[in-house]
Amino acid sequence: MNATHTEEHDNLFVVEALGVATADEARQLDALITTHGDGYAARSRELSDTAAMLAFSAMPVAPQQETRARLFAAINANQSPTSLDEDAAQDAVEDTSATQAQPSNVYQLPVPKVTSMPGILVMRRSTFTMSAIAASVLMIALAGVAFAMWRRADAAQVQLAQVQNQARINVAREADEAKRIANELMREREATSAFAAPDSRFAKLKGTATAPAARANLIFNPRTNSAMLYSHALPPAPEGKAYQIWYIADGKPLPGGLFTTNNEGDGSLRDVAPSGSDAASAFAVTLEDALGALEPQGTPVLSGVAS
């Protein structure tokens, strides 16, 4: 495509953008767009949008002489009446002449002529389109910000719930630990008091093959028939079962009290020793029914002798 063709095509784009293209020029431009594709169509839209915005952003520029002549010709053509046929126009002229021939005291005001400005309509459409696009972009941006804030608030709420739940867990754990320490201190005081009493005997019970890690401390006072036992690392008794202490005197086991342990295997028992246990020198612990037994039914899990 040579330079002459380019200038001619540009002229067609310009008159179309200004809204003064003739029907023949419009057909030529449509044929060019059909032949040359999206590039010409984009050029036409670009010039139309540019012409629409000239009233707001462009400095006055003198158009080409050919374009200027066509523009004024179109304006003059739009000022002529087009809806009246020749007969109606002639009748209007005759009526006007007759009226002017008669004297009248009524002053006839001139009727302004309305000219058609296609460029203004294009500019208004383009301005409205740009405003609609800007409003849509703003709404999308606001929606994105609102969604991000909602997500952030939801995440903060979840995190707060997790912190609160962890705080409750920590408080419960600390309360259990405090309770455990308090129980240990109480047992130590009781053990110290019992151990300091006259005639008290002390026995360390060790775990058997059934519970090798288990151990227990026993304080027995044969004069008062009282006993205190503290176990450690003794597996929790199954449901329906309990641990029972036995006082062994002269080789005969005498039944004592029952106790259980917590999940850590700690247990305690304050017992009143059976009659005849004052001669006991050895002790054992077995796993029995929860109601206890008169004679050992289970295998000893702890055993030891008094010192």
The CB density around residue 210, as the number of other CB atoms within 10 Å, is 14
Residue 35, pLDDT above cutoff 90: no
Per the domain annotation, does 170 fall within a domain?
Answer: yes
Examine the domain organization and report whether 181 and 219 are in the same domain.
Answer: no
pLDDT band, residue 55 (cuts 50/70/90): low
Per the domain annotation, does 153 fall within a domain?
Answer: yes
Domain count, the chain: 3
Examine the domain organization and report whether 209 and 164 are in the same domain.
Answer: no
Q: What is the rounded (10 degree) CA torsion for 125, 127, 132, 134?
A: 160
Distance of alpha carbon 235 from alpha carbon 243, whole angstroms? 10
Residue-wise pLDDT for 57-111, tens only, equals 555 556 677 777 777 777 777 654 444 345 544 554 455 454 444 554 544 545 5
Average pLDDT, integer, range 207-235: 93
Residue 113, pLDDT above cutoff 60: no
Examine the domain organization and report whether 220 and 288 are in the same domain.
Answer: yes
Tokens of 167: 């705080």
Query: Bridge-partner residues for 289, per DSSP?
Result: 241
- Residue 252 sits in a domain of what CATH number? 2.60.40.200
Name, of 13-17, 184-188, 300-304, the range with top average pLDDT: 300-304
Tokens of 180: 């455990």
Examine the domain organization and report whether 151 and 234 are in the same domain.
Answer: no
Q: Give the three-state DSSP class for 306.
A: strand
Per the domain annotation, does 216 fall within a domain?
Answer: yes
Concatenate the DSSP letters of all residues of 193-249 into one string.
HHHHSTT-EEEEEEE-TTSTT-EEEEEEETTTTEEEEEEESPPPPPTTEEEEEEEEE
Per the domain annotation, does 98 fall within a domain?
Answer: no
Residue 267, pLDDT above cutoff 50: yes
Chain centroid to CA 161:
14
Amino acid letter, 227: A
What region does 140 belong to: left with phi over 0, alpha with psi -120 to 50, or beta? alpha
Per the domain annotation, does 117 fall within a domain?
Answer: no
Examine the domain organization and report whether 155 and 216 are in the same domain.
Answer: no
Examine the domain organization and report whether 181 and 201 are in the same domain.
Answer: no
pLDDT of residue 1: 43
Per the domain annotation, does 234 fall within a domain?
Answer: yes
Examine the domain organization and report whether 201 and 299 are in the same domain.
Answer: yes
Q: pTM, whole model, 2 decimals?
A: 0.42
Domain boundary among 78, 107, 124: 78
Name, of 38-52, 107-121, 234-248, the range with top average pLDDT: 234-248
Residue 209, pLDDT above cutoff 90: yes
Least confident of 13-22, 240-249, 286-295: 13-22
Nearest to 233 by CA among 258, 204, 261, 202: 261
Per the domain annotation, does 64 fall within a domain?
Answer: yes
Nearest to 240 by CA among 260, 254, 257: 260
Domain boundary among 152, 169, 190: 190
Examine the domain organization and report whether 256 and 202 are in the same domain.
Answer: yes
Using CB atoms within 10 A of its CB, is residue 142 exposed (0-12), middle (13-18) or buried (19+)?
Answer: exposed
Domain boundary among 190, 212, 238: 190
Distance of alpha carbon 83 from alpha carbon 95, whole angstroms? 18
Examine the domain organization and report whether 301 and 216 are in the same domain.
Answer: yes
Full domain range(s) for residue 299: 197-305
Examine the domain organization and report whether 67 and 17 are in the same domain.
Answer: yes
Examine the domain organization and report whether 5 and 70 are in the same domain.
Answer: yes
Per the domain annotation, does 121 fall within a domain?
Answer: no
Examine the domain organization and report whether 272 and 185 are in the same domain.
Answer: no
